[in-house]
Amino acid sequence: MSTKLANPAPLGLMGFGMTTILLNIHNAGYFPIDSMILAMGIFYGGIGQVIVGMMCFMRGDTFGTTAFTSYGLFWLTLVGIILMPNMGVAASPANFMGWYLTLWGTFTAFMFVGSLRYPRAKQVIFGSLTILFFLLAARDFTGNALLGTIAGFEGIFCGASAIYFAMAQVLNAEYGRTILPIGELTQTKAQVQPQATEAEKVTLHSVKA
């Protein structure tokens, strides 16, 4: 039996992608928030991504741990924001929701910078998600419904890009070749060539001397 750890990222990306598409179909104006979106937000987008984040932690993946755990908790807090007013907790004003989304947009912008050393497909996800958060924040600050509609379609694209990247990783790994391209970055010679340790440098200096 193999002891090799599986790649948890496709699972987290699917939870993120499917839930993001469903919520943004709502943002685009096609149907109201209902139990289906909330259930997806709690379980697949929320708890599912948190579990994936912990799996990334076990693999020593700081970026994956930060991303999946944070966005999983984002979905859980968003569901709480929607449901808590029904439990007697005061609802958040629209402009305060704008600040909530701005903070998430700022966090995602930093994650986008971190994604620049990864395949283009991952960059597209974080780049489009950054735009999505700031569009939704602008909608809540201004009350402009058109911005919300635009954000909805942009969010559908973001979710679809996450699903694509997830399935690309699964299919490419299963077949051992590129089935769905993800825009792998070409490594420079300096990146590929391992750096000499201090001991090796001392030895090399002694030989030259």
Question: Residue 38: helix, strand or coil by DSSP?
Answer: helix
CA pair distance 130, 32, nearest whole angstrom: 24
Q: Could you tell me how far CA 45 lies from the centroid of its own chain? A: 10
Q: What is the CATH number of domain 9-208?
A: 1.25.40
pLDDT tens track for 32-77: 999 999 999 999 999 999 999 999 999 999 999 999 999 999 999 9
Give the helix/strand (H/E) hosting 202: helix 198-208
Say if residue 189's pLDDT is above 50. Answer: no
Say if residue 205's pLDDT is above 60. Answer: no
pLDDT tens track for 79-136: 999 999 999 999 888 889 999 999 999 999 999 999 999 999 999 999 999 999 999 9
CA pair distance 53, 58, nearest whole angstrom: 9
CA pair distance 111, 100, nearest whole angstrom: 17
